[in-house]
Amino acid sequence: MPCFSTTTSISAPPARVWAVLSQVAQWPGWTPTVESVTPVDGQQGGSPAIGRSYRVVQPKLRPATYTITSLEPGKAFTWEARQPGLRVIAGHRVEAEGDGSRVILTLAFEGWLAPLVWPLVRRIACDYLEQEARSLKARVESMGT
CATH number at residue 31: 3.30.530.20
Q: Is 63 left (phi over 0), alpha (psi -120 to 50) or beta?
A: beta
d(C-alpha 123, C-alpha 83), whole Å: 20
Per-residue pLDDT tens for 54-110?
A: 999 999 999 999 999 999 999 999 999 999 999 999 999 999 999 999 999 999 999
94 Cβ contact partners less than 8 Å away, ≥ 6 residues apart: 14, 17, 18, 21, 74, 75, 76, 101, 102, 103
Domain hosting residue 122, numbered range: 3-142
| pLDDT tens, residue by residue, 107-135 | 999 999 999 988 888 899 999 999 999 99
Q: How many domains does the chain have?
A: 1
CA dist 52 to 3, 57, 95, 128, Å? 24, 17, 23, 23
pTM: 0.93
